[in-house]
């Protein structure tokens, strides 16, 4: 992995080492975009089934079972199914990651919401407020920073996961990476891995900084 085809070390000829930089950068951007859209979709669709807010037991039971199914099936399995259904490309990757992430975020959101202070919720209910009003104005403000923090954490995970699901043709740089591995182009593998690691490190630092700021704001308030 540290030698070019000529036998020289990769760092002695960066231009030859990163010969596919333009293509790999585009595919890496597609990988990050898959993770972003999937995480945003999961954040919108994740349905927390907490006992204190979802009091109708049959609905709560059904939602929890659906969430368990979504997070129990690995995203790469979902990706293989959607690739068979829709063909190669980014769409199967987005759908696969969105399903799996919805299950994970739904579980985290449920645990957070079960520990809220119910007095604001009861106050809105006493004034005739609807269930949506109770969730929107009483429950959500108490845990918004936590919800965003968990979502950012899942985004970090999804950037790495989007690379792996590319192995089965679900878009992004993963498809080129697995092709290089199969064809023994190991200097290409090392170049792509270096780009992936650098991208993940930057995203981790940025999202980690944002998470800490959100938590600090919640503590101060």
Residue 134's pLDDT is: 87
Quote the CA–CA distance of 88 and 92 in Å, as a whole number.
Answer: 7
Which tokens hold the place of 139?
């429950």
Residue with tokens 């596919």: 20
Below-50 pLDDT ranges, the chain: none
Whole-prediction pTM: 0.86
User: What residues contact residue 130 under an 8 Å CB cut-off, 6+ apart?
Assistant: none
Distance CA 164, CA 161 (A): 5
Model confidence pLDDT, tens digit, residues 134-158:
888 888 888 888 888 889 889 988 9
**What does the pLDDT read at residue 195?**
93
Question: Where do the structural domains in the chain lie, given as residue ranges?
Answer: 19-220
Question: Which residue in 218, 216, 182, 187 sits closest to 24, CA to CA?
Answer: 187
- pLDDT digits 0-9 by tens, 69-92: 999 999 999 999 999 999 988 999
At residue 221, the pLDDT reads 60
The CATH H-level (homologous superfamily) assignment of domain 19-220 is MetI-like (1.10.3720.10)
């Amino acid at each position: 992995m540290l030698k070019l085809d000529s036998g020289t070390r990769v760092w002695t000829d960066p231009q030859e080492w990163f010969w596919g930089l333009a293509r790999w950068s585009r595919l890496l951007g597609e990988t990050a975009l898959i993770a972003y859209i999937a995480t945003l979709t999961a954040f919108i669709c994740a349905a927390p089934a907490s006992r204190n807010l979802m009091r109708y037991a049959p609905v709560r039971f059904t939602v929890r079972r659906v969430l368990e199914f979504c997070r129990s099936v690995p995203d790469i399995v979902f990706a293989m199914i959607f690739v068979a259904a829709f063909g190669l490309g980014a769409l199967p990757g987005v759908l696969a990651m969105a399903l799996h992430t919805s299950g994970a975020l739904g579980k985290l959101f449920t645990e957070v919401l079960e520990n809220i202070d119910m007095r604001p919720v009861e106050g809105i209910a006493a004034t005739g407020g609807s269930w949506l009003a109770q969730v929107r104005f009483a429950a959500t403000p108490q845990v918004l920073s936590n919800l965003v923090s968990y979502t950012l954490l899942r985004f970090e995970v999804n950037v790495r996961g989007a690379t792996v699901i590319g192995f089965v043709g679900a878009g992004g740089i993963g498809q080129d990476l697995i092709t290089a591995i199969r064809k023994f182009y190991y200097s290409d593998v090392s170049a792509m891995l270096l780009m992936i690691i650098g991208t993940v490190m930057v995203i981790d630092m940025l999202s980690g900084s944002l998470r800490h700021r959100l938590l600090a704001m919640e503590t101060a308030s």
